[in-house]
Amino acid sequence: MGGQACVFYGAAQVSKDIDLLVLAEQENFTRLQAALAELQADRIAVPPFDPAALARGHAVHFRCRAPGADGLRVDVMTRLRAMPEFRVLWERRTTFVDGNGGEYHLLCIPDLVQAKKTQRSKDWPVIELLVTIHYREHAHAATDERVDFWLREARTPELLVDLCRLFPTRAAGVTAYRPLLRLACERSLDDLRTALDAEVRTEQARDRDYWEPLRRELEQFRREHRDRQG
């Protein structure tokens, strides 16, 4: 669901860790704990590996020590900001199969784009590339659902202008959701760039607001951990 998924899609060159979204059920937690034990994975930061903490939106971080995975960081979550529950995301996942038959289940590109809408500046060029890749791969089979996704999420003025030219009816419908499409229809590239920048800042603020109570809770976890150690 993170950088490794972007590598699979071709929107990133490398990622230093693996971000996993898991189904929040006890049987699944048991299987996850067994996999982490096989990887000799140690928790490296608060919060604790606690289903209740995960359900509130926290990520739990591990560092692997097993041969072949030594030093690899694994981050586990069960909930993503402003996104559907796991079962919905699972139903619309993308599956890659390698030459040995191994399967890799990824968030589909539209869901991955939503997951990457963070306060981190480095995520936004990746979003731009993910949408461009999706458009390049599916432009020959442009369903209404795909066109609406491109119109909602494209981040380059030139692509937005082209989309509004190619799909004016769909663009008119999506404009209520994304008003800056009016600028794309008018081909006002400079104003469109300004509006896109403002859109990023708004989404970054939403992400900060979401994480602020979780950040305070993390500080409480750290204090409690220090008290137990001290």
Angle between helices 157-166 and 189-229 (to 10 degrees): 120
Q: What is the pLDDT of residue 230?
A: 66
- In terms of DSSP H, where are the helices of the chain? 3-9, 26-38, 51-55, 86-91, 109-115, 123-138, 144-153, 157-166, 168-174, 181-185, 189-229
- Stretches where the chain sits below pLDDT 50 are none
Domain ranges of the chain: 3-108, 123-209
pLDDT tens digits, one per residue of 131-152: 999 999 999 999 999 999 999 9
Pairing of strands 94-97, 42-43: unpaired
Tokens matching residue 27: 């049987």
pTM, two decimals, is 0.93
Q: What is the pLDDT of residue 71?
A: 94
pLDDT tens digits, one per residue of 161-194: 999 999 999 999 999 999 999 999 999 999 999 9
Q: What is the pLDDT of residue 45?
A: 84
Q: What is the pLDDT of residue 15?
A: 82
Q: What is the pLDDT of residue 13?
A: 76
The C-alpha angle 13, 161, 146, rounded to 5 degrees, equals: 65
Q: What is the pLDDT of residue 216?
A: 93
Residue 213 and residue 58 in contact, taking contact as beta carbons nearer than 8 Å: no
| Dmax (CA) of the chain | 65
